[in-house]
Structures are given as structure tokens and as C-alpha cells.
Amino acid sequence: MSNFPEPPYFLLAAGLLAAIASGSAFYATLTQFVQTWSRSRSSRSLSQARGLEFQLPFLGMAGGICVFLASGLEIFGFNAKFAYAFALPLTVFTTWLVWWQLGKVLVQLEKGGSKALDLDLFV
């Protein structure tokens, strides 16, 4: 009989699936918003796209990633407290960076259009 608990394979898969599902919802919402803005050039600016329709799938994606990371650490033998103590700050910091960068990209898109995002200009 082993003294080690059963690894959380279910949580690993559930976290990954939650992150993928929330990520695809976030992608669809963001794509639809940018296309609508591009067609109408409405008074609502792209940089103000931080409503609940964007935050909810983004936070779902972050939660799924956090559970996935912590479960992966538990599979490698770390206890649950350490795994979540490591995964939570890492996830929070990474999601903050992504949200900040997304805001900068939306501002750049709003000012210069899609040509402002052409990365081939820098080569």
C-alpha cells in the first residue's frame, strides 16, 4: 500500500478543458467586438473593451490554467498547498501581463488600424 495520494488526473483534464472552453469564448467575443468596431467605428473605443463579456471568459481561462498548473505539480509529487501556492501567483501575474498587453494592442489597433499591427515591418 502506498502512502502517496492519487494524482489529480481529473483536475488536470478539467482545468485544461475549462481553459480551452473559456479561451475559445474569449476569442469569439473579442473577434466579434473588433469586427463590429471595425465596421462601424463606433464611439465606444476598443481600449474600453473591459466589460463583463470580456472579463468572465478571461477569468475562466485563468482559473482553468491555475488548476491545470497546480494539478500538474501535484502529479509530479508536490503537495496541494505548495502546488496552489506556486500556481496561483504565477497565474495571476501572467494573466495581468496578458490583460495589460491586450489593452495596449487594442489602443494601437484603434489609433492605427490593422496596419499598426503589421509585424513584418520590423524585419
Q: Where are the domains of the chain?
A: 9-122
117 in Cβ contact with 105 (< 8 Å): yes
What is the predicted pLDDT for the residue at 36? 81
Per-residue pLDDT of the chain (123 residues; tens, 9 = 90+): 556 678 899 999 999 999 999 999 999 998 888 888 777 766 566 666 667 888 899 999 999 999 999 999 999 989 999 999 999 999 999 999 999 998 888 888 777 766 556 655 555
The whole-angstrom separation of Cα 68 and Cα 57 is 16
Alpha helices in the chain (DSSP H): 9-40, 52-75, 80-112
- Kindly give, in sequence order, each residue whose CB lies less than 8 Å from that of residue 87, ignoring residues fewer than 6 positions away: 66, 67, 69, 70, 73
| Cα separation, 122 vs 52, whole angstroms | 35
pLDDT at residue number 32: 87
For residue 115, the model assigns a pLDDT of 59
According to the model, what pLDDT value does residue 26 have?
Answer: 93
Give residue 44's Cα distance to chain centre.
Answer: 23
The contacts of residue 14 (CB under 8 Å, 6+ apart) are: 64, 67
How high is the pLDDT of residue 12?
94
Question: Is residue 52 classed exposed, middle or buried when 0-12, 13-18 and 19+ CB atoms within 10 A define those classes?
Answer: exposed
pLDDT at 38: 76
The three cell numbers locating residue 44: 465606444
pLDDT at 81 (0 to 100): 95
